[in-house]
Structures are given as structure tokens and as C-alpha cells.
Amino acid sequence: MSKRKSVALLPKGTVSDEAVRYLFRNEDVEFVYCKMIADVFQSTAKGQTDWSVIPIENTIDGSVSLHIDWLVHEVDLPIRAEWVFPSIQNLIGSGSELAGENGVWDPSKITKVMSHPVAMAQCLQFIRAKLPHAELETLSSTAEAVRMVKNNPGQGWAALGTRLAAAELELDVLESGVTDHDNNFTRFLLVGNSSYEKPEAPLRKTSILVTLPEDFPGGLHQMLSAFAWRRINLSKIESRPTKKKLGNYYFYIDIEYPLDSVLLPAAIAEIEAIGCQVRLLGSYPSLPFEQ
């Protein structure tokens, strides 16, 4: 009998939790909840879990640079899959405590709104329109914010978080979908030393890190040309500091092509031939969100 697989992720009730339940909805996998993203990475790096789930990019906020840096500098965990999931934040609190005379929640009764800083930033238009008087407090996760509201009744507190967290802690969704943009999706990575295959995935991608040779005029252009003339699409290219020398950068590149093709290994060989250092982060299925 095979050992049950396990996955480390951010706290119960977060968007990460919703996204992991979606990914493994038809699989028997143990969820290991961690308070901080460093704990998520270390759980898998130390062999305590098979995979980690990492939010890596958001429609509104762009790349999560801290998480990219962890993948590059702190751990060596191959990317096994990616998928996107909607980041929907809701205003959560005690409906009976915050209700007005008409039975609907009364904005004037809310004294403080709590959430993760990213979630808070994604709901600023709603906050300015409905709760400009409320104190804002950021916490380590949306789930922690909902838990703070649950544990402090009678204070007039509310949280921005998921429906999952509200249900888990038996609080009310005062207003749903309060994010400023309807197309707010987060891209997640599944990383770890255990393989994960989805043969039915419509697209396979490859992620690499490229460091250009020093004192090589036109090096970036020549590197990109190796992909361009082969008509290999780069869905993302981002420069990040190597942390070794001021002005020294590597390029994080997502490629819409599998590594086991003919063209991609040839392109990588070409840029290595001009002195580029290439590190493979993973070649993996890219899974679209299906409602």
C-alpha cells in the first residue's frame, strides 16, 4: 500500500487553502497547514511533506517577489504543476452584532477591518467607499484576520477573507466579492521532490533562471533571439537581483513549451554557448481554472 501524499500550505481558510482543495479535489492528500510561507517551503525541503503550494503571481499585484526569491535562493524544489484560482475576498463578521435596524449590516458599526496586506490592497475601493472611518490592521493571513474577529466579539471588528474561513469559524459573509476587480486570479505553484502528473493538461510549461555573462554587450538581445527565431513563446520574463553584486541580475523566464521537445533544449544550448548560466526550475503541466 502506497504512502498517502502530503502537501504544505498557508493557514486553513486562506485562498491557498481553497486553491489546494480545488487542485486535489479528486485525490486523497493530507493537508499540512503552516503559519508562514517560510514554514511551507521548509516543510517540503526537510522531507516532512511531499509538496508545497506557493502563491507566485496575482492579476492585480503581479509577482510575489518574496516567494520567487525563496525558490531561487533558499530551497531547491522543482516546480511540479501550476494552476490559477480566483482570489475572492469577502467582508466577514458577526451579522447579529453588526446589523442595523433593517437587519442588514451597518457600516457605522464596524470600527476595524483586518486582513492580509495583499488582500487589503485588493479591496481598497470598497473600503474607501463603505468603510472610510474604520481602522485598518494587517495580519499574517486572511484566515488569521477572520479568527481575530471570531475571538473578539463585541468590538465591531470585521475581516476580509474567504467564504471557507467564514464557514469554518461560523461567522457571516456580510458582503461577498468585495475585491476591486472581478478578474482577480492568483497563480499557484506546486513544488517538491515528488512527481505530479496531469496527462490531460492542455499546456506544459518550463521555467528557467538565466544569468547573463558579465561585460557582454547585447547579451540580453542575443539570449531572447534564441527563443524568438524558434517561435518559442515566453509568457513571462522578470529580472531579479542575484544578491551577490550590485547591478547583477538573473532573469526568471516562463516558457510555453515542454522541455522534452526538440526546439527548447536547442535554444537553451544556444544561450549556454554564449556564456549564459541556465538553471532549470521545472517542466510541468499548466492547469486552467474550470468552474
Ordered per-residue pLDDT tens for the chain, 291 residues: 467 899 999 989 999 999 999 999 888 999 999 988 899 999 999 999 999 999 998 877 777 778 888 888 888 899 999 999 988 899 999 988 888 878 888 999 999 999 988 889 889 999 999 999 999 999 988 999 999 999 999 999 999 999 999 999 999 999 999 998 878 889 999 999 999 988 778 899 999 999 888 766 778 888 999 999 999 999 999 988 877 777 778 899 999 999 988 899 999 999 999 889 999 999 999 998 776
The answer as to whether 146 is a domain residue is yes
The CATH number of whichever domain residue 154 belongs to comes to: 3.40.190.10
Task: Give the separation between CA 291 and CA 286, rounded to whole angstroms.
Answer: 16
Do 136 and 116 sit in the same domain of this protein?
yes
Do 170 and 234 sit in the same domain of this protein?
no
Q: What is the pLDDT of residue 243?
A: 79
Q: What is the pLDDT of residue 215?
A: 67
Amino acid at position 244, single letter:
K
Cell representation of residue 164: 471557507
Do 72 and 121 sit in the same domain of this protein?
no
Do 157 and 98 sit in the same domain of this protein?
yes
Domain housing 229: 205-287
| Percent of the chain with pLDDT strictly greater than 70 | 98
Q: What is the pLDDT of residue 63?
A: 76
Sign of the alpha-carbon torsion through 252, 138, 75, 194: negative
Q: What is the pLDDT of residue 26?
A: 84
The answer as to whether 196 is a domain residue is no
The CATH number of whichever domain residue 239 belongs to comes to: 3.30.70.260
The answer as to whether 36 is a domain residue is yes
How many domains does the chain fold into?
Answer: 3
Q: What is the pLDDT of residue 244?
A: 79
* Residue reference for cell 518574496: 66
The answer as to whether 199 is a domain residue is no
* Residue reference for cell 487542485: 23
Q: What is the pLDDT of residue 62?
A: 76
The answer as to whether 25 is a domain residue is yes
Task: Give the separation between CA 155 and CA 9, rounded to whole angstroms.
Answer: 30
Chosen domain end from 191, 215, 246: 191
Nearest residue to 72 (alpha-carbon basis) of 195, 265, 241:
241
Do 79 and 106 sit in the same domain of this protein?
no
Do 79 and 104 sit in the same domain of this protein?
no
Q: What is the pLDDT of residue 291?
A: 66
Cell representation of residue 42: 521548509
